[in-house]
Amino acid sequence: MLKKIPLLLLSFLLCFQGFSQNFYDLNTIQKIEVQFSQSDWDYQLDVLKMGTDKYLMADWVKINGVEYDSVGIKYKGSSSYDSSYKKNAFHFELNNKKDQSYQGYVDIKLGNSYSDPSMIREVLAYNILKKYMDCPSANFAELYINGKYMGIYSNAESINKKFCSDKFYSSNNTFIKCNPNLTPGPTVKSNLKYISADSSLYKPYYEKKSKNGWNELVTLCDTISNFPARVSSVIDIDKAIWMLAFNNLLINLDSYNGAFAQNYYLYKDNNGLFNPIVWDLNMAFGGFPFAGSPNNGMGTLSISNMQQLSPFYHDTHTDWPLINAVMQNPRFKRMYTAHLRTIVKDFFTNNEYVTLASQMQNLIDSKVQSDSNKFYSYSQFKTAMTTNVNVGSYSVPGISTLMDTRVTYLKSTTDFTQTAPTISAITPTPTVPAYNAPVSITALVTNTKTDAVFLGYKFDETKKFEKLQMFDDGNHNDGAAGDNVYGGSLTMALANLYYYIYAENANAGMFSPERAEYEFYQLSIPTDTIKKGDLVVNEFLADNKESDINEYGLYTDWIELYNTTSKTLNLTGYYLSDNVTSLKKYPFDVNTTIAPNSYLIIWADDLKTTAKYAHSGFSLSGTYGQVVLSNSHGAILDSVTYFNQSEDVSTGRCPNATGNFIDIKTPTFKESNNFFCSAGIKEAKTYKNLITVYPNPANGQVTFSSNSFNISTIELYNRYGTLVKNSLFTNKKSTINLDGLASGIYVYMVKDKHGVMSARGVLTVIK
């Protein structure tokens, strides 16, 4: 099992060498290396793909120089896979046999650019979509197997429990993958159409990724198909509209809008709504020309057909009930057109998509040129924005050839040319709100109907938006009646108000901000000024098996905060999270306080908060994670990043409240850590000068020696906290072979026969 690197030394390494780029950083190409002992690894992967679909174990995998063993690898894909291909798509499972991850990611999905001469379709499409709804991050990775360059791949984030936790603030609810288990076809769709009350009839068309959920899927399909007026009660309708608009505009037909109505996920959040998640965009921008048609047709489109595909295609075709439900509701249809126009304005009218595409192609150019396994020639890659390429029975359009003409067509349609309302001068009153006091939002809205201006609002980012009608009648803090200033009032229930405005007339709708509900305005109550150091993450337990029991009698993870000041702190408007990219997972309840020089426990689970304890709604990963304390403006007050944890061993500050983090074998729940700090300091002094390391810097091998008979093992960690080498002491000495290690800074930890750390230090490896 991988061990955790002490934060003191980790901090030193990060400062000395710099932390690596985020695994999905768009400006860098990730490097992935694989070593198989099996010379026929390709054949074995083919056999597994066509049989059990199980994983083949690699000897090791390196991700940007970080080495892992016990990694499961298999081929993935349906139409993009074939045993005859020199370049198939891959799925790496880092935690197949061991609890390990790379920057918290346990699954790696590499796409092979099937049906994509440009090599950028998937990454480009995801980086457009992320402006409007939750979706995977994506960039590029170069892959080497047994020392041979296999080519450049798209690298798209896996949609799994981590993704759901980061985006939807929970991970254990109903989770459905919408891909047929049979070969997809015109009669085999994952289209959310109601079949019957018998949940077993849905299993050929969907894959359940959670423990339960078949009955909830049936209810969803029943509502969408048979009671479309209630569709917004079962699915996040705004996300659904964004998905449908994106698919239609980008001719992403290997998704819900196309012939097979597949390649998306559904996750049910804590508000009881299913959230659609778009997946598998390698054939966006017309790479899959099958739109589907009534009476089980494939609906094959020519490039001209794609360029002029109606924005409302399938609005009456009963095999696409979600599209029916949106298009048959006049308000949803106007919202759909508003979202469609927003994407066009953001990326296509201004040619931003061409700029982004050019940056991507320039980044991977040399890697594509040396990729001998790619499906298309280098010259086809270079001209893929403007040149159509034949792929079997159809032609894949150049991306700009498709989109420039398509945007011109859409702008000529009746719905696009309608004049939408204008929304401006959005003003909250008062600008400094108070708890449980009224607050009004006003806006100047023109070219709208008097009964069609709404305030979307919520007080907690984890909740859904509610709708409040706004009025121009002089009775809603809106000024004079009939002056086009609309107002709405509500009570400031929590520390933050998140809101947007939607207005419509008989022909068109408009949001402000235009990317709502994904983007919104915020109004905050002034909170206690808590400075860095006033409130700290003091201790946490991320693998609680038999340590501390919550008020429900369960062993769950916990986080301990400590107030270092002599005054009571009010935590209203502050947040706790397990991810620095999603800071507001847990907002503290109004008037949550922590007494001077006292502790506050938050159970990291999805149970209900009680009068005695708070429950965050998220749990801590045992392999890699963060604990982050922040305020409403996104400023981080305290945070800690940790690596693999041991059962019932907490991580706490030493000395209490102010020091660096150490392992605490007996967690000190709501108590000082100082007893264990004292023991740790005494041990460090005892062995301080008993370790000799030579040579240092080292090349080839390094020797550790000690005069103590108590020394048992030496462990070597890389800058990411991953154990890369270990060795036993024999005759007071241990020599480690450094073959396979890259140049850089490493941390050594010397342990006694009881596994207690005796000494630690830094080793420099040079090549």
- Give tens-digit pLDDT for 251-279: 999 999 999 999 999 999 999 999 999 99
The verdict on residue 427 lying in a domain is: yes
CA distance 299 to 283: 16
Instruction: State the pLDDT confidence band at 624, using cuts at 50, 70 and 90.
Output: confident
In this predicted structure, which of 188-202, 323-337, 486-500, 717-731 has the lowest mean pLDDT?
A: 717-731
pLDDT at 532 over 50: yes
613 or 330, higher pLDDT: 330
Output the CA angle 34-35-41, nearest 5 degrees: 95
The residues, any chain, with a CB within 8 Å of residue 314's CB and separated by 6 or more, are 257, 291, 292, 320, 323, 324
Mean pLDDT value of segment 119-126: 98
Domain match, 583 and 598 both? yes
The residues, any chain, with a CB within 8 Å of residue 737's CB and separated by 6 or more, are 700, 701, 725
487-521 per-residue burial string, b: 16 or more CB within 10 A, e: under 16: bbbbebebbbbbbbbbbbbeebbbbbebbbbbebb
In this predicted structure, which of 387-396, 588-597, 754-763 has the lowest mean pLDDT?
A: 754-763
CA distance 517 to 412: 27
Structure tokens at 711: 């020394």
Domain match, 100 and 207 both? no
Read off φ and ψ for residue 611, nearest 5 degrees. Answer: -65, -25
Residue 687: the pLDDT is 37
* CB distance 292 to 309 below 8 Å: no
pLDDT at 4 over 70: no
Structure tokens at 657: 């409240």
Which conformational region is residue 493 in: left (phi greater than 0), alpha (psi within -120 to 50 degrees), or beta?
Answer: alpha
Residue 641: the pLDDT is 86
Instruction: Write the CA distances from 368 to 24, 82, 548, 613, 615, integer angstroms.
Output: 19, 21, 54, 55, 49
Domain match, 129 and 186 both? no
pTM metric for this prediction:
0.81
Cβ neighbour number for residue 391 with a 10 Å cutoff: 18
The verdict on residue 39 lying in a domain is: yes
pLDDT at 542 over 70: yes
Q: Which of the listed residues 650, 680, 710 is the one where a domain comes to its end? A: 680
The verdict on residue 372 lying in a domain is: no
CA distance 136 to 132: 12
Number of structural domains in the chain: 5
Nearest C-alpha neighbor of 107 from the set 58, 41, 53, 155:
155
Domain match, 586 and 448 both? no
The verdict on residue 371 lying in a domain is: no
Residue 16: the pLDDT is 35
Domain match, 64 and 46 both? yes
The verdict on residue 139 lying in a domain is: yes
pLDDT at 465 over 90: yes
* CB distance 709 to 676 below 8 Å: no
Block residue for tokens 């009669």 = 187
The enclosing domain of 710 has a CATH number of 2.60.40.1220
Instruction: State the pLDDT confidence band at 721, using cuts at 50, 70 and 90.
Output: low
Mean pLDDT value of segment 750-756: 69
19 or 210, higher pLDDT: 210
The residues, any chain, with a CB within 8 Å of residue 152's CB and separated by 6 or more, are 29, 113, 119, 140, 141, 142, 143, 364, 367, 368, 371, 374
Tallying the residues shown for the chain, one arrives at 767
CA count, 13 A, side-chain hemisphere, 117? 22
Domain match, 393 and 252 both? yes
The share of the chain scoring above pLDDT 70, in percent, equals 93
Structure tokens at 240: 């659904």
Q: What is the mean pLDDT of the chain?
A: 91
Q: Which of the listed residues 646, 680, 714 is the one where a domain comes to its end? A: 680
176-212 per-residue burial string, b: 16 or more CB within 10 A, e: under 16: bbbbbeeebebebbbbbbbeeeebeebeebbebbbee
CA distance 183 to 191: 15
Q: Looking at 389-454, list the stretches that DSSP marks H as alpha helix, in order from N- to C-terminal side.
A: 399-412, 414-417
The verdict on residue 390 lying in a domain is: yes
Mean pLDDT value of segment 620-641: 89
CA distance 679 to 405: 72
Q: Which of the listed residues 680, 704, 733 is the one where a domain comes to its end? A: 680
Q: Which domain holds residue 176?
A: 168-349+386-417
CA distance 669 to 603: 11
Structure tokens at 414: 């009746």
Nearest C-alpha neighbor of 12 from the set 628, 637, 719:
719
CA distance 304 to 308: 6
Residue 758: the pLDDT is 61
- Give tens-digit pLDDT for 663-706: 888 888 998 888 766 544 333 333 334 678 888 788 888 888 88
The residues, any chain, with a CB within 8 Å of residue 733's CB and separated by 6 or more, are 703, 704, 705, 706
DSSP state of 188: B
For residue 152, the cross-strand partners are 142
Element (H, E) at 295: none
Residue 680: the pLDDT is 40
Residue 745: the pLDDT is 76
Instruction: State the pLDDT confidence band at 754, using cuts at 50, 70 and 90.
Output: low
Q: Is there a cis peptide before residue 430, judged by omega within 30 degrees of 0?
A: yes
Structure tokens at 316: 């009456």
The residues, any chain, with a CB within 8 Å of residue 36's CB and separated by 6 or more, are 56, 58, 59, 145, 146
Domain match, 454 and 477 both? yes
The enclosing domain of 467 has a CATH number of 2.60.40
Domain match, 671 and 746 both? no
The verdict on residue 527 lying in a domain is: no
The residues, any chain, with a CB within 8 Å of residue 461's CB and separated by 6 or more, are 496, 498, 584, 587
Block residue for tokens 């993450």 = 537
Residue 104: the pLDDT is 86
Residue 718: the pLDDT is 78
DSSP state of 510: E
4 or 552, higher pLDDT: 552
* CB distance 698 to 764 below 8 Å: yes
CA distance 23 to 753: 37
pLDDT at 660 over 90: no
DSSP state of 272: S
CA distance 508 to 311: 14
* CB distance 495 to 590 below 8 Å: yes
pLDDT at 280 over 60: yes
* CB distance 612 to 551 below 8 Å: yes
pLDDT at 227 over 60: yes
For residue 716, the cross-strand partners are 725, 748
Structure tokens at 226: 């048979």
* CB distance 265 to 178 below 8 Å: yes
Instruction: State the pLDDT confidence band at 719, using cuts at 50, 70 and 90.
Output: low
Domain match, 541 and 651 both? yes
Instruction: State the pLDDT confidence band at 352, using cuts at 50, 70 and 90.
Output: very high
The residues, any chain, with a CB within 8 Å of residue 29's CB and separated by 6 or more, are 139, 140, 141, 142, 152, 363, 364, 367
Residue 759: the pLDDT is 66
- Give tens-digit pLDDT for 564-576: 999 999 998 899 9
By CB atoms closer than 10 A (0-12, 13-18, 19+), residue 60 is middle
640-666 per-residue burial string, b: 16 or more CB within 10 A, e: under 16: bbbbbbbebbbbbbbebbebebbbbee
Residue 19: the pLDDT is 40
Domain match, 189 and 336 both? yes
Residue 574: the pLDDT is 92
Report CA dihedral (515, 518, 519, 523) to the nearest 10 degrees.
Answer: 140
Residue 362: the pLDDT is 98
pLDDT at 8 over 90: no
The verdict on residue 626 lying in a domain is: yes
- The two beta strands, 557-563 and 599-604, are antiparallel
| Cα Rg of the chain (Å, integer) | 28
- Give tens-digit pLDDT for 572-606: 889 999 988 888 899 998 888 999 999 999 999 98
Domain match, 326 and 412 both? yes
CA distance 555 to 607: 12
Domain match, 287 and 409 both? yes
